[in-house]
Amino acid sequence: MIEKTYLKTKPECKVKFALPAEIVGDAKNVALVGDFNNWDGTANPMKKQKSGVFASTLNLEVDHSYQLRYLIDEQNWLNDDMADAYVPSPVSFDTNGVISL
């Protein structure tokens, strides 16, 4: 799930990313990775909520598009079904999700 809230005071959008428990199963850690953090699996770890949902919120610059994926337990990659588009990954046969702000 991706929720966008555009800020009135600055050219940013508060973006909430969430993966429900039924998608991540018994994952121990989930990281949000993308071109906004140089695909660093340690830069944006998602926090596990009591409901089992993993969530993270980032403020991202508007008038940009960002490629992203989720990294589950440092080995499994997952796209978000709510991405605005998908593009081929430059490093594998997979696709990357894209959000446009």
For the cut 90, the answer to whether the pLDDT of residue 6 exceeds it is yes
Homologous superfamily of domain range 2-100: Immunoglobulins (2.60.40.10)
Percentage of the chain exceeding pLDDT 90? 93
92 has pLDDT over 90: no
pLDDT tops 90 at residue 90: no
Strand runs labelled E in the chain = 2-6, 12-19, 30-34, 47-48, 54-61, 65-72, 76-78, 85-88, 95-100
pTM score, whole prediction = 0.93
**Domain boundaries along the sequence of the chain:** 2-100
Question: Could you report the per-residue pLDDT of 68-84, keeping only the tens digit for each?
Answer: 999 999 999 999 999 99
